[in-house]
Amino acid sequence: MCEGHDHTHATVQNPLSENKDRRVPVVQNILNANDRAAAENRQHLEEHNITAINIMSSPGSGKTTLLMATIKAMGENGSIGVIEGDVASQVDADKIAETQTPVVQINTGGGCHLDAPMVHSALHALPLDEIKLLFIENVGNLICPVSFDLGQSWKVALISVPEGHDKPYKYPGIFEAVDVVVVTKADLMPYMDFELDTFKELVHGLNPNAPVLVLSAKTGEGMDSWVKWLEEHRV
């Protein structure tokens, strides 16, 4: 588990420090409660015919920049909504709001991931009847978010070129869990030591069915493949 949890996880910290033997049942209880909330979220989204995309990555990989480019590329027909997850501040949510896209900010207060109850609260603050494609920008972290179902339809992992092609070695869990992997900041490829073929081989060794999309939200390169994937996977 990650440090700095609050919300539903706050009760975990002291018991675990006092009695390590309780770690497994306590963690199982947390995940079971989260899964129940996730099931409620999923039912709620299905009732409104909304496709929800859980976007996970390390900090600085370009999640918000990709969302901004996606909103522009899909236009008004995208019927997009956004839930922004951050440890603190609402800088990213303010950027999204400038596009007139419905957006809700979740601040975890130190927690390293979003959980289903947090998303449940955010859903009730969005105009769900106006949304068909909901992006959930998770807290920047390659480990913690993977374990928590949010009720999403699909899971996406972003990895930026400057982070290097070896991330599947170091963080296999996220690459095993997602439905698609997006390599961002492709415009930096000529200047970085990023071996794309090696990266794809590593990803497909962990997750043979996950396509690897390569794009640059800055230049527009590869955005058509991303938008096509979204169109094919929305309700």
* Average pLDDT rounded to a whole number, residues 76-87: 92
Q: State pLDDT tens for residues 8-41.
A: 443 223 334 444 454 566 556 767 999 999 999 9
d(CA 192, CA 197): 14
* Average pLDDT rounded to a whole number, residues 135-144: 96
Where are the domains positioned within the chain?
7-233
What pLDDT is recorded for position 235?
A: 87
Q: State pLDDT tens for residues 94-124.
A: 999 999 999 999 999 999 999 999 999 999 9
Q: What is the pTM of this model?
A: 0.88
Distances (CA, A) of 3 to 14, 104, 108: 12, 24, 12
Q: Is 79 helix (H, G, I), strand (E, B) or coil?
A: coil
In CATH terms, the fold of domain 7-233 is: Rossmann fold (3.40.50)
d(CA 220, CA 190): 16
What pLDDT is recorded for position 77?
A: 81
Q: Can you read off the two tokens belonging to residue 212?
A: 């690897």
Q: State pLDDT tens for residues 65-74.
A: 999 999 999 9
Q: State pLDDT tens for residues 156-209.
A: 999 999 999 999 999 999 999 999 999 999 999 999 999 999 999 999 999 999
For the chain, the average pLDDT equals 90
